């Protein structure tokens, strides 16, 4: 198989369990393990560059190394948080059940609570709502 002039082949060795996870993920996603790894590594290049700079600064015993490392960690946490939010949003789309208004044919209102959330309790101060 020919490799384009702008690409290089990497041969890596990983533990068997890592290879199994990569192959399983690739299969679920309908991609090859090679293309999955290539995509993941390509996405990680900005982080690689920042870490390389942090290591260079740390070798020179410069305090800026810690700033770079902190920045990388903050960005990673931000990306992970965004992925978590995206996953939650997708889950809600899949698990949302029609509200009573949808079932009865009446138009839904903006204030309709999603079916997967419990109704909000109101504080009556210990008094009954009966008249």
The pLDDT tens digits for 10-38 are 999 999 999 999 999 999 989 999 999 99
Q: How far apart are CA 94 and CA 88, in angstroms?
A: 10
CA dihedral in degrees (55, 42, 90, 122; nearest 10)? 20
Residue 124 DSSP one-character state: -
Residue 126 DSSP one-character state: T
pTM (2 decimals)? 0.50
pLDDT tens for each residue of 28-81: 989 999 999 999 889 888 888 888 888 888 888 777 777 877 888 888 888 878
Residue 85, CB-side half-sphere exposure with 13 Å CA sphere? 6
């Amino acid at each position: 198989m020919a490799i384009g002039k702008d690409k290089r082949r990497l041969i890596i060795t990983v533990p068997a369990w890592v290879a199994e996870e990569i192959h399983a993920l690739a299969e679920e996603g309908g991609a090859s393990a090679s293309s999955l790894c290539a995509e993941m590594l390509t996405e990680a290049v900005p982080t690689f560059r920042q870490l390389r700079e942090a290591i260079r600064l740390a070798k020179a015993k410069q305090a800026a190394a810690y700033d770079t490392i902190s920045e990388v960690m903050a960005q990673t946490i931000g990306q992970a948080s965004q992925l978590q939010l995206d996953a939650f949003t997708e889950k809600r789309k899949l698990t949302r059940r029609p509200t009573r208004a949808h079932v009865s044919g009446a138009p839904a209102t903006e204030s309709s609570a999603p079916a997967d959330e419990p109704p909000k309790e109101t504080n009556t101060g210990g008094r009954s709502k009966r008249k």
